[in-house]
Chains A and B, each alone.
Chain A
């Protein structure tokens, strides 16, 4: 009996020790352990490592919410290749905006050998998700230069916002066009929700298109959100919007950019 008692006492204590990281304060606690501000760190790496490159090749994935297994497999696939310079995640890392979802996804993507950047998706804005996203990954609008190409990454989730925050942020688009003018010769615009989608502020869709076309040699646009492969000339002006499937479909797109030219390839795994 006494032995039994000892076990009965020891079992909860064992659980307690094991459970040190099992204490969950709240699903939306905003308690972030581990790495933060990942985009800024990886952008520095991309801009430094590929500055002299004429050809760059990146993988574009998106919408990995609640597809942790598939994202983990993607990381393994890309780590086995050595031809991919960096990875862009088109947003929707979380499904419910839970703090833990962002950290789970960050930890999976953290196993990538190559640097990656992530965009803000509409699901990432739920509850206090946007605050978590900003802390873990960074600002919802940002840009970086890989080789001679500027990547303009924009928050286009207008439905998640109100008029106090401009989405899309035209002053940011204009400001970025003027920045580092000598360092890039061509541009790519990346967003989560493309013009005409339910999230986009479609009242300004054509103004948006006009403002990004002011960029030097705009090659094409990338988007996620629709969970299917897309290749559409939305505005009939020669600028193609390439939508990548959600990672749950076990598909992603590889883009190869050379001077004035690009190719893309849809990869299934």
Chain B
């Protein structure tokens, strides 16, 4: 029974190390490929084709943005990396690490978030500024600490609580503004400001059932900044 938190911690560490090793490996590959392309122009047709594919695959693994967020039920502040993809970059997957100060409890908490965003529409307001009137999606948040469990411990009779204190499913809708930098060679190519209105499974079930609860009781507001890394 007590093995459970250790298992969770181990698998979490394994996950994080795998994550970072993948990123660093991918970055190395990109750099090497870049060097080959930059110096060796006489490579054969087949060789360059293979390299291109390899480069493309590596690109998909390297995050395409860094982000920081304020609030959002995942921490006071959280920071992470994101992958933007799709023909219009309408999809994005983010991974965030959040920090919850201790406030009136015994200890501060760390959380992990995996978020999938869909941004279907784009309005070009200016040469450099674009506006996305809708961003929506889901994020899963898990809180680290042995107080929180995925599944209730074995001491409870079957299906005693029927929910997880550790895993929250959140949904959100929001908007964003993107600003594209003028420079053609800077490390970052653009900056995106977004806000999301969000709620989680537990807030939503409370809000739906009670007229007493107002919109802002169970719907939260999050603000974020996303820095887009330049792609060649």
Contacts and interface: CB of A to CB of B under 8 A. Distances in A.
B104 A69 contact: no
A12 B73 CA distance: 19
B206 interface: yes
Interface stretch (A18-26, A55-63, A78-86, A184-192): A18-26
Contacts of A104: 206, 212-213, 217
B219 interface: yes
Contacts of A101: 206
B216 A27 contact: no
Interface in B141-187: 143, 147-148, 155-157, 160-161, 163, 165, 168, 175
B161 A24 contact: no
A100 interface: yes
A135 interface: yes
B156 to A, nearest CB: 7
28 contacts: A8-B131, A16-B221, A16-B223, A24-B71, A26-B109, A28-B165, A29-B101, A30-B102, A30-B103, A31-B104, A67-B210, A69-B212, A95-B202, A95-B206, A97-B165, A98-B202, A100-B203, A100-B217, A104-B206, A104-B217, A127-B147, A127-B148, A128-B147, A131-B105, A131-B106, A135-B104, A159-B156, A198-B157
Contacts of A159: 155-156
Given A25-B75, A30-B104, A66-B205, A72 B212 contact: yes
Interface string B192-229: 00010110101101100111110011011111000000
A9 to B, nearest CB: 8
A108 B211 CA distance: 13
Nearest to A22: B221
Q: Top 4 nearest A-B pairs by Cβ distance?
A: A24-B220, A30-B105, A23-B71, A19-B221
A267 interface: no
